[in-house]
Structure 1
Amino acid sequence: MRAAVYYGPNKVEIADVPEPQVGPGQVKVKVGFNGICGTDLHEYYAGPIFIPTEPHALTGQQMPLVLGHEFSGTVTEVGKGVTGTSVGDRVAIEPIYRCGHCAPCVAGNYNICQQIGFHGLMSDGGMAEYTVVPADMVHQLPDNVSLELGALVEPMSVAYHAATLGDVRPGDTAMVFGAGPIGIGLWFALRGKGLDDVLVVEPSPTRRAAVEALGAKTLDPTVVDVPEYVRDATDGRGADAVYDAAGVQPSVETALACVGARKPMVSVAIYEKPLETPLLNLVMNESRIQGSLCYTSADCEAVIALMAEGKYDPTGWVSAIALDSVVEDGFEALHAGTKMKVLVDPSQ
Structure 2
Amino acid sequence: MKAAVYYGPHKLDVTEVARPEPGPGTVQIQVGFNGICGTDLHEYFAGPIFIPTAPHPLTGQQLPLVMGHEFAGTITAVGAGVEGWAEGDRVAVEPIYRCGHCPACQAGNYNICAQIGFHGLMSDGGMAEYTVVPTDMLHKLPDNVSLELGALVEPMSVAYHAATLGEPPADGTAMVFGAGPIGIGLWFALRGKGLEDIYVVEPTPTRRAAIEALGARTLDPTAVDVPAFIAEHTSGRGADAVYDAAGVAPAVETALACVGARRPMVSVAIYEKPLTTPLLRLVMNESRIQGSLCYTSADFEAVIGLMAQGAYDTTGWVTSIGIDEVVDEGFDALHAGTKMKVLVDPSR
TM-score interval (norm. to shorter)? over 0.9
Distance 2:83 2:141 in 1: 16
Q: 1:80: how far off?
A: 1.4
Deviations 1:168-210 (A, max 9, x none): 1211100000000000000000000000001000000000000
**Secondary structure in 2 aligned to 1:77?**
strand
The residue number in structure 1 matching 2:104 is 104
The residue number in structure 1 matching 2:232 is 232
**Secondary structure in 1 aligned to 2:290?**
strand
Amino-acid identity (%):
78
Matched AA of 1:250: P
Distance 1:85 1:303 in 2: 21
The residue number in structure 1 matching 2:326 is 326
Matched AA of 2:63: M
Structure 1 segments of 4+ aligned residues over 2 angstroms from their partners: none
The residue number in structure 2 matching 1:79 is 79
The residue number in structure 2 matching 1:341 is 341
Note if 1:195 corresponds to 2:195: yes
Note if 1:176 corresponds to 2:176: yes
For structure 1, the 5+ residue unaligned runs are: none
Matched AA of 2:131: T
Matched AA of 1:225: D
CA contact (8 A) 2:22 2:79 kept: yes
Q: 1:84: how far off?
A: 1.6
Distance 1:135 1:81 in 2: 10
The residue number in structure 1 matching 2:2 is 2
TM-score between the two structures when normalised by the length of structure 2: 1.00
Distance 1:79 1:199 in 2: 47
Distance 1:33 1:236 in 2: 45
Distance 1:303 1:215 in 2: 19
Matched AA of 1:272: E
Distance 2:170 2:50 in 1: 37
Deviations 1:153-173 (A, max 9, x none): 000000000000001121110
CA contact (8 A) 2:169 2:240 kept: no
Deviations 1:107-127 (A, max 9, x none): 000000000000000000000
Distance 1:163 1:83 in 2: 33
Deviations 1:69-97 (A, max 9, x none): 00000000111121221110000000000
Alignment coverage as a number of residue pairs: 348
For structure 2, the 5+ residue unaligned runs are: none
Distance 1:104 1:95 in 2: 17
**Secondary structure in 2 aligned to 1:208?**
helix
Distance 1:277 1:86 in 2: 51
**Secondary structure in 2 aligned to 1:319?**
strand
Deviations 1:36-67 (A, max 9, x none): 00000000000000000000000000000000
CA contact (8 A) 1:31 1:129 kept: yes
**Secondary structure in 1 aligned to 2:73?**
strand
Distance 2:170 2:261 in 1: 18
Note if 1:44 corresponds to 2:44: yes
The residue number in structure 2 matching 1:301 is 301
CA contact (8 A) 1:169 1:193 kept: no
